[in-house]
């Protein structure tokens, strides 16, 4: 038993794209009462995300792509403006985000700064996300970006003024949590 929790049973509900488990566990409350609960947890692995910024131009690089879950939940065209991100697979967060940055945005970066890590939806998803920032310049552009063909990515690269991006949050044009968190980080820490 760890932290007053004992796993009693785990059932795999789906192992199609990632793994959806139903976990039955016993939880001991502070007063000693034991509760048995069942919850579903979706394991898609851990990920990394990055916000590229340019001090001289006061701009940031974001991406825009179709996200089915947002479409299902009322996003009219399913398009979402986001920071570059990807799943770690077997990579460490730093190598993953450097590779993803080049694939998605076309910028080859070498110096990155980890700013924090966070669980994005801890009530149902196991993923922890590693957050990075990095400065970019035009001479770092090595290709057009847009994602990799075998992953069927169709990513549009956006270069936005920081004030425009912040206004897009207020206007609900940017609704992605990781993107809002990194834009707020840049602003709160007076980087841009």
CATH of the domain at 173: 3.90.79.10
pLDDT of 44 strictly over 70: yes
**131 confidence band (pLDDT: 50, 70, 90):** very high
Contact 50, 84 (CB under 8 A): yes
Task: Mark whether 27 and 93 lie in a shared domain.
Answer: no
Domain that holds residue 97: 47-188
Contact 36, 8 (CB under 8 A): yes
What distance, in Å, lies between the first and last C-alpha atoms of the chain?
Answer: 47
Task: Mark whether 70 and 163 lie in a shared domain.
Answer: yes
What is the Rg, in whole angstroms, of the alpha carbon atoms belonging to the chain? Answer: 19
Task: Mark whether 25 and 83 lie in a shared domain.
Answer: no
Contact 86, 97 (CB under 8 A): yes
Identify any residues that bridge with 118 across adjacent strands, giving them in sequence order: 129
Mean predicted lDDT score pLDDT of the chain: 94
The whole-number average pLDDT for the span 150-157 is 80
pLDDT in tens, 48-95: 999 999 999 999 999 999 999 999 999 999 999 999 999 998 899 999
pLDDT of 184 strictly over 90: yes
Task: Mark whether 10 and 38 lie in a shared domain.
Answer: yes
Task: Mark whether 79 and 33 lie in a shared domain.
Answer: no
Work out how many domains the chain is built from and give that number. Answer: 2
């Amino acid at each position: 038993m760890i932290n007053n929790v004992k796993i009693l049973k785990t059932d795999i509900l789906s192992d199609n794209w990632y793994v959806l488990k139903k976990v039955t566990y016993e939880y001991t409350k502070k007063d000693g009462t034991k509760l048995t609960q069942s919850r579903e947890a979706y394991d898609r692995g851990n990920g990394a995300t990055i916000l590229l910024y340019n001090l001289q131009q006061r701009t940031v690089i974001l991406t825009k792509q179709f996200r089915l879950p947002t479409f299902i939940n009322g996003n009219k065209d399913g398009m979402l403006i986001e920071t570059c991100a990807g799943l770690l697979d077997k990579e460490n967060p730093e190598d993953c985000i450097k590779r993803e940055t080049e694939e998605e945005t076309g910028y080859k970066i070498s110096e990155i700064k980890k700013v924090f890590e966070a669980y994005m939806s801890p009530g149902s998803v196991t993923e922890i996300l590693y957050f990075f920032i990095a400065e970019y310049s035009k001479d770092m552009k090595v290709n057009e970006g847009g994602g990799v063909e075998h992953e069927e990515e169709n990513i549009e690269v956006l270069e936005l003024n920081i004030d425009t991006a912040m206004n897009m949050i207020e206007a609900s044009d940017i609704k992605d949590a990781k993107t809002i968190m990194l834009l707020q980080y840049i602003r709160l820490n007076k980087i841009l």
